Structures are given as C-alpha cells and as structure tokens.
C-alpha cells in the first residue's frame, strides 16, 4: 500500500515496475478482485471516455444554452493548419472540451476525478494516443497511472470544488493526466511525480465559481486549460526538468490553500465569475430568479 507520491515512486523503483502496475496490484489487494476483473472494469471506463469524446467532437449543446459546439470549432481550426500552438496540444484541448460539453449536455462521462474535471484525462489521452500509438493494454495502464496520483490527492487533500476550489478538481485532473502521459511516453516513475508537481503548482489557488451554479462556465474552458497545462508539464518532466518542491508538498500546499479559500469561491456560485453582472443576468434568464438571490 502507498499513502503518498514518495511511497508510490519508491515502490515502483524498488520493484522495477511502472506506476500503473503498482496501482493495479493495490486495487487487487484492497478490493480482493482478480487482476482480470480490475483491468476489465478500467477498460470499460476507457470505452465510456472514448464515446464521450466522439460525441462531443460531433457536436453537443447543453440544455441551458451556456455551452456546446466549441470542440467542433477547435477541430475545424486545427484542420485549417494555421494554429499558433501545437497540433497535439490543441487536439487535447478540443477533446477535453468535447468531454465536458457532453457532461454539460447530461451525457455519460467517466469522472476523472470528478464530473466537472472529466475532460482533462481523456482529452490528453486521446491526443497523445494518436502520437504514441499505444496498445490497448498501454491505454488501460494510462488510466491506472492517472488513478494512482488521483488516489493520493483524494486521500491527502481533496478533489472536489466544494471542498477545495477548482484547483482540487481541474488541478488534480491535470496533474493526474500529466503523470500518465509521462509513463505512456516512456518516462520514469520519478518523472511522473515531477510532471504531477509541475502541473499542480501552476493551478494552485484556482477557485470554483460556476456561473448559475452549473458545471459549464467557466468549467468547460478550465478543462481545456488543464489539458494544455498537463501536456506542457509532461514535456518538461520528460526533458528532465524537476519540480523544486516535492510532489507531496505541492499536494499539501494545495490542501492548505483550499482550507483558506473563502466559501464564496468553493462551488457556491456566490463569488468570482459567478458574481459578475453578466453571470447574474444569465442566472436570472436560465432560472427566472431575482438577481439578488445570493446577496
């Protein structure tokens, strides 16, 4: 059993195993299920993610009318070839957006680690998949690696916006994705940890301020930026760049920042972007409620 990132990396290095393998073995120990059953379940999760990406890329819109169609716009933009950033990063961003647009449209997604942050892991995965051409086993292992880091965050900090702000949701998801990308690209367990640390460091303090209390604005676009953050952090770690602050200390810092964060900035829709004039007008339009509801 591992309790933190340091122990996770140490186990992987001592046993000369991948992070994903350590996570699979822990799941077997904790649940008592067979290796085959655990892998089968994760493969099913992967299939859900794949369908969500495909549905979002084809185009969906939420019932509120706040979100939808942006994944399609990004894919069309990529096809033109005049983009300023990299094709792989933009593909990851578009697929992260696609997944969250499906979530906003009440479609089926796989929470990684939450519904509001469900776009980052599949978005980045299906983008790097086209570049690294993994086997099905490697694809499933990607999710176990992400899950290992998510397990640490969930047990040492928090993964919900209500508890710790969006840093806990999209921030954690981006860190999980970065670590998984590194392993799939052939990086070491230590590099996975540095990718997670680099990512989360750059999302500490991110508040959760959903407009009208819906997981749409700014949530969908935050998944987009989380995906881009994860991709860049993974490249940095693979290049040999290390986080000066150990991953576990970064997670602890995120936890402490979340504790200090005002309640108005933790999914209550009472502060931040949710309390802008435009947001209040949208809220009133959607729900037909007075603009001073939260005052």
**What confidence tens digit (pLDDT) does each residue in 111-143 have?**
999 999 999 999 999 999 999 999 999 999 999
Q: Please give the pLDDT value at position 224.
A: 98
Judge contact between 230 and 181, C-beta under 8 A: yes
Judge contact between 231 and 85, C-beta under 8 A: no
Query: Taking CA 76 as the corner, what is the angle to CA 75 and CA 78, rounded to the nearest 5 degrees?
Result: 65
264 C-beta neighbours (distance < 10 Å), count: 16
Selection from 69, 164, 157 nearest residue 116 by Cα: 164
Cα 101 from Cα 119, distance rounded (Å): 9
pTM: 0.96
Judge contact between 22 and 148, C-beta under 8 A: yes
Cα 283 from Cα 295, distance rounded (Å): 14
Judge contact between 291 and 269, C-beta under 8 A: no
What residues does 263 pair with on adjacent strands?
A: none
Q: Please give the pLDDT value at position 1.
A: 87
Identify the structural domains of the chain with CATH numbers, from first to last.
Answer: 5-287 (1.10.4100)
Helix (DSSP H) and strand (DSSP E) numbers for the chain: 14, 0
pLDDT, mean of residues 255-271: 98
Q: Could you tell me the pLDDT band of residue 295, with boundaries at 50, 70 and 90?
A: very low
Q: Is the pLDDT at 293 greater than 90, yes or no?
A: no
Cα 285 from Cα 279, distance rounded (Å): 10
Q: Is the pLDDT at 55 greater than 60, yes or no?
A: yes
Work out whether the CA dihedral 252, 258, 259, 260 comes out positive or negative: positive
pLDDT, mean of residues 62-85: 97
Q: Is the pLDDT at 245 greater than 50, yes or no?
A: yes
pLDDT, mean of residues 203-218: 98
DSSP assignment letter at 275: G
Judge contact between 185 and 238, C-beta under 8 A: yes
What residues does 138 pair with on adjacent strands?
A: none
Angle between helices 5-14 and 247-260 (to 10 degrees): 160
């Amino acid at each position: 059993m591992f309790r933190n990132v340091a122990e996770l990396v140490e186990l992987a290095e001592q046993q000369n195993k991948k992070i994903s393998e350590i996570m699979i073995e822990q799941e077997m120990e904790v649940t008592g299920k067979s290796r085959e059953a655990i892998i089968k379940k994760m493969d099913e999760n992967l299939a859900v993610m794949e369908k969500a990406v495909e549905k979002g890329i084809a185009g969906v819109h939420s019932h509120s009318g706040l979100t939808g169609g942006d994944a399609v716009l990004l894919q069309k933009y990529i096809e033109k070839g005049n983009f300023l950033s990299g094709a792989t990063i933009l593909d990851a961003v578009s697929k992260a957006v696609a997944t969250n647009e499906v979530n906003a449209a009440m479609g089926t997604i796989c929470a990684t680690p939450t519904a509001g942050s469900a776009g980052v892991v599949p978005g980045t995965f299906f983008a790097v998949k086209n570049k690294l051409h993994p086997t099905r086993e490697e694809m499933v292992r990607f999710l176990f690696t992400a899950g290992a880091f998510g397990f640490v965050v969930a047990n040492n900090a928090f993964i919900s916006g209500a508890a710790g702000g969006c840093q806990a949701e999209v921030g954690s998801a981006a860190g999980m994705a970065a670590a998984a990308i590194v392993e799939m690209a052939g990086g070491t367990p230590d590099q996975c940890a540095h990718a997670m640390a680099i990512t989360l460091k750059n999302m500490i303090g991110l508040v959760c301020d959903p407009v009208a209390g819906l997981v749409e604005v700014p949530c969908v676009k935050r998944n987009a930026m989380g995906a881009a953050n994860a991709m860049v952090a993974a490249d940095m770690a693979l290049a040999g760049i290390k986080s000066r602050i150990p991953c576990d200390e970064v997670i602890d810092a995120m936890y402490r920042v979340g504790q200090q964060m005002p309640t108005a900035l933790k999914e209550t829709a009472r502060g931040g972007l949710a309390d802008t004039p435009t947001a209040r007008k949208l809220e009133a339009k959607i729900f037909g409620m007075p603009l001073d509801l939260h005052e």
